[in-house]
Chain A
Amino acid sequence: MNSKLKVSRFDPETMGSGQRRWDEFEMDLHPSATVLDALIQIREEVDGTLALRCACRASICGSCGMRVNGEAKLVCKTRIADVAEEGATIVIEPMGNHGIIKDLVVSLDPFFDKVRQVDPYLQPDAEPEQGEFVVNNDSMENLLTAMNCIMCGACVSDCTVLEVDEAFIGPAALAKAWRFVEDPRDDQRDERLKELNEVEGGIWDCTRCFKCVEVCPKDVAPMDRIMEMRDMAIEAGNRNTSGYRHTESFSKSVKKHGRLDEARLAVESAGYTNIPRLIDLAEIGVKSVLKGKMPPIVPHKADENEKITRIFERVESERNT
């Protein structure tokens, strides 16, 4: 099939940081060709200076993460026919949120620094009695989801928080943290959760945008792991964050009224003693009132909201037993 590839180029020897050049290649490819096949063909037959990273060609090694039409993908797993109609242009760029070394090759140093930040190794308190740890099958199957991670960086590339804050630990490293929090052989669970709860760029900074879930080629679903750790951190007694207050206030409101009480949610998330944030909220509140819109002081309720309260009570009592 006829395909047009528009490839982002960067040469550190002749270009300044942030600059790029677009090269276009038109080629005839087999219908089952992958984006990686096309790039290798360009390098071998058209332009030997094109830099790209790849190894296994079977979505195992995690080397060939790139952005294809704006979305992070393993290019060895991405067929041309699945991302573009015959003759349409395919845009190929290096991954986002990573420094570019050359053309399509990015630096993974910050990526692995973040992974190291979460102490990605088991920390048992004592040697196992029988010379090895015996773990039941269910707990290992649980870990498999996150253990499938091949460290390709796709989730980091498209993370909407990392785009605005490089201190965020990020989806890959937080999924790795979850893997050790959940491992029955590890004895630092509470310490890990406390750290992830409090550290700058920890679990509460995720926006729940689903980008990492969408682009992960291995179904690790980092965001789901982060959400689980929020609940675990709260259950372990970490109640000192606005994230905790936000979740609690939200839940309380829906339980009581069936609906969300936006005004109370804003105030309770800030915390009743957080004067600067309360002044800030008051400013928006006053502006809204002047424009003729403001959440009602008496919260709006669902009809027969006591039925919703009963569902909450039943689920909560089951959870506590």
Chain B
Amino acid sequence: MKFAFYPGCVARGAGPELFDSAVAVMDRLGIEWVELTGASCTGAGVLQEKDQKLGDILNIRTLAMAEQLGLPVMTICSTCQGVMAQADRRVRKDADYLEEINGYLAEEGLSYSGNTTVKHLLWVLVEDIGVETLKKTFVKELSGVNLAPFYGCYIVRPSDALGFDENPERQTSLETVIESVGGNVVDFPGKTACCGFPILLINQRNSLRMVANHTGTASELGADAMVTPCPLCHLNLDGYQPKARRQNNRGKADLPIIHLPQLLGLAMGMDAKELGLGKHLVNTKDIIGKVESIPVAS
């Protein structure tokens, strides 16, 4: 199983612990990968509000690079997943548009013909690897650990770009993974809502109200941590949670926010430090302690 790996800007910038933990986990899962180091940022929806065609050119360029390698794209960012899938859907629906886009790529010797796909690691886990095989890589059952899922908007909407009709299991994939490590799913309505990150630098008050609502609700329902496949959500939910909680007078303690690969790594028995759990702004020592107290299955 080999992928053209697209980690996204945050995993390569402000959230290096995501990249490191993902690579460590992929190794254990037997996923081979080659990083698309020449690919651009997806535009994250921001570039698209200025010029959607420009965004589509950049993303189709990334897909064309993977196609040239004969590999499907794998990402570890919900936002990248969604933005690339939206661009892919637009060119698949309109052959003239695809031709127009390919016109911008010809200079580089690239051309896209729709012979690749883009898949988040989360979907690879449930679709390509499968829960039974995944479980065999775990050495710990995180029973008694209460985990709230938090998807990130672009991996759940718009649904018609995300292949939910053909792959309905994607809609509950994060809960499936939490159950596969033996954790308890803390279900709450905010799990598919917005974390507030896109307006953090524009309307911080509203952004932090969202952070406080989601982390506060999950905590009140007994969550020990929140798990997300989106590094942008992580930046907001982790980095701004203490301030959000203070400003909105919500909850007594901060809720650790764990990247999806870090959760897998914990179940695989990896060292918390190696997984970068010490790099979060919300202290993760309680959740680490809870996991470390669980004996490795013999």
- Bin the interface of chain A by size: 35 or more
* In the assembled complex, B281 has its CB within 8 A of some CB on chain A: yes
CB distance from B3 to the nearest CB of A (A): 18
The residue on B at minimum CB distance from A269 is B201
* In the assembled complex, A183 has its CB within 8 A of some CB on chain B: no
Chain A residues contacting B57 (CB-CB under 8 Å) are: 311, 315
* In the assembled complex, A147 has its CB within 8 A of some CB on chain B: no
| Contact, CB under 8 Å: B203 / A260 | no
Residues from 269 to 311 in A contacting B, C-beta threshold 8 Å? 269-270, 277, 280, 284, 287-288, 291-296, 300, 302-305, 307-308, 310-311
Residues from 158 to 206 in A contacting B, C-beta threshold 8 Å? 160-161, 163-165, 168, 204-206
Residues from 107 to 125 in A contacting B, C-beta threshold 8 Å? none
The residue on B at minimum CB distance from A270 is B201
| Contact, CB under 8 Å: B279 / A258 | no
Chain A residues contacting B210 (CB-CB under 8 Å) are: 160, 163-164, 207
| Contact, CB under 8 Å: B158 / A214 | yes
Decide yes or no: A294 and B39 within 8 Å by CB, A160-B193, A211-B157, A265-B201 being known contacts.
Answer: no
| Contact, CB under 8 Å: A242 / B278 | no
Binds A, one of B46-54, B112-120, B137-145, B173-181: B46-54
* In the assembled complex, B26 has its CB within 8 A of some CB on chain A: no
* In the assembled complex, B199 has its CB within 8 A of some CB on chain A: yes
Chain A residues contacting B38 (CB-CB under 8 Å) are: 258, 302-304, 307
Chain B residues contacting A102 (CB-CB under 8 Å) are: none
| Contact, CB under 8 Å: B58 / A161 | no
| Contact, CB under 8 Å: B9 / A259 | yes
| Contact, CB under 8 Å: A303 / B37 | yes
**Separation of A161 and B198 alpha carbons in the complex (Å):** 11
**Separation of A208 and B203 alpha carbons in the complex (Å):** 13
Chain A residues contacting B15 (CB-CB under 8 Å) are: 293
**Separation of A213 and B159 alpha carbons in the complex (Å):** 10
Chain B residues contacting A214 (CB-CB under 8 Å) are: 157-159
Neighbour of B281 across the interface among A287, A296, A307, CB < 8 A: A287
Decide yes or no: A292 and B39 within 8 Å by CB, A207-B194, A210-B158, A270-B201 being known contacts.
Answer: no
* In the assembled complex, B14 has its CB within 8 A of some CB on chain A: yes
CB distance from A104 to the nearest CB of B (A): 18
CB distance from B261 to the nearest CB of A (A): 15
| Contact, CB under 8 Å: B153 / A260 | no
Chain A residues contacting B14 (CB-CB under 8 Å) are: 262, 288, 293-295
Neighbour of B12 across the interface among A163, A251, A259, A284, CB < 8 A: A259
Chain A residues contacting B240 (CB-CB under 8 Å) are: 284
Contact with A along B156-179 (1 / 0, CB 8 A): 011100000000000000000000
Q: Given contact pairs A302-B38, A303-B37, A315-B54, enumerate 6 new A-B contacts (beta carbons under 8 Å).
A: A163-B213, A168-B206, A207-B153, A241-B202, A246-B202, A250-B46
Chain B residues within 8 Å of A, Cβ to Cβ:
9-10, 12-17, 37-41, 43-51, 53-54, 57-58, 61, 104, 107-108, 153-154, 157-159, 189, 193-194, 196, 198-199, 201-207, 209-210, 213, 239-240, 276, 278-281
